[in-house]
Amino acid sequence: MLKGRHVIEPGDLSVTEINEICSLAEQIIVDPVSFQDVCRGKILATLFFEPSTRTRLSFEAAMLHLGGTVEGFADASYTSSTKGETLADTIRVVSSYVDVIAMRSPKEGAALLASQFSTVPIINAGDGGHYHPTQTLTDMLTIRALQGGFESHVIGFCGDLKFGRTVHSLAKAMSRYKNNKFIFISPNELKVPEYITKDILEPAGIEYMEAERLEDVIGELDILYMTRVQKERFFNEQDYIRLKDSYILNQEKMQLARKDMIVLHPLPRVNEIAPEVDNDPRAAYFKQVRYGMFARMALISKLTGCL
């Protein structure tokens, strides 16, 4: 039963609950008209203390498509936090007006703190480098829709694997399903943290490998999850110059990939996927955006008790 629950990290949802949310999202995709009034009378607050395009608009579109309404802010400078109001007090006030809150903050742990003072469900829409559970639901719904399920995939994560919260969350979530193999593709400076490999994958006996060149492993992948290699993460600019082009996905590299591989990206992209790839039928990142709205529709309707 998800009604009234907070969703701060992907681990707050069991495998069964993830499957239920994805199944509901798939029902909404097939017959959206049947769900257009299920949350009529409910209000979503979007509290975005840092900039966002896709996540905020996706939450708002999700609630509107369910027949509910939305209030909130996209710029913290217009809130009483500029006067010194604490997050706890902001949440106490807002939760007295609405039925569910989606919150993004640059501060790690902010959503967990908010959940301790809220009388309605808090959905973490990103807290610094910590968690982004609805992006993980988005990724998983996309994988299920396009690759048939969550098991027996070879999943490649490419780019900034050290600081990428979406990478950490999806790797943890997919490690809960059978027969998945992970390939982590990054420069040495941005390798996936050991808490993923040593604390999660190895104890569970999950197969993984690390690589520095995308070309060497792309042919093995069912799913390629791209992220940006960030210049600001390097101490030595020469290392960045040496490596940066290795992590630009172009049509030449796509020719080495399987015909049924899909390419995902949490967006926004900068230059890590060449525009020429957009027309490749394996490029799924814009489909992924739309799946995100349906995933959030399913989650909101469950947390508010509408369904």
pLDDT in tens, 25-84: 999 999 999 999 999 999 999 999 987 888 999 999 999 999 999 999 887 676 677 667
Q: What is the pLDDT of residue 163?
A: 79
**Which residue in 132, 172, 265, 302 is the catalytic one?**
132
Least confident range of 100-104, 245-249, 252-256? 245-249
302 is annotated as an active-site residue: no
Examine residue 268 and say whether the peptide bond preceding it is cis (omega within 30 degrees of 0): yes
Q: What is the pLDDT of residue 269?
A: 87
**Which residue in 42, 104, 130, 253 is the catalytic one?**
104
- What is d(CA 5, CA 102) in angstroms, rounded to the nearest whole number? 13
184 strand-pairing partners: 157, 210
- Across the chain, what does the average pLDDT equal? 92
**Which residue in 6, 42, 55, 142 is the catalytic one?**
55
Q: How confident is the model at residue 233 (pLDDT cuts 50, 70, 90)?
A: low
What is the mean pLDDT of the segment spanning 102-112? 92
Q: What percent of the chain has pLDDT over 90?
A: 77
104 is annotated as an active-site residue: yes
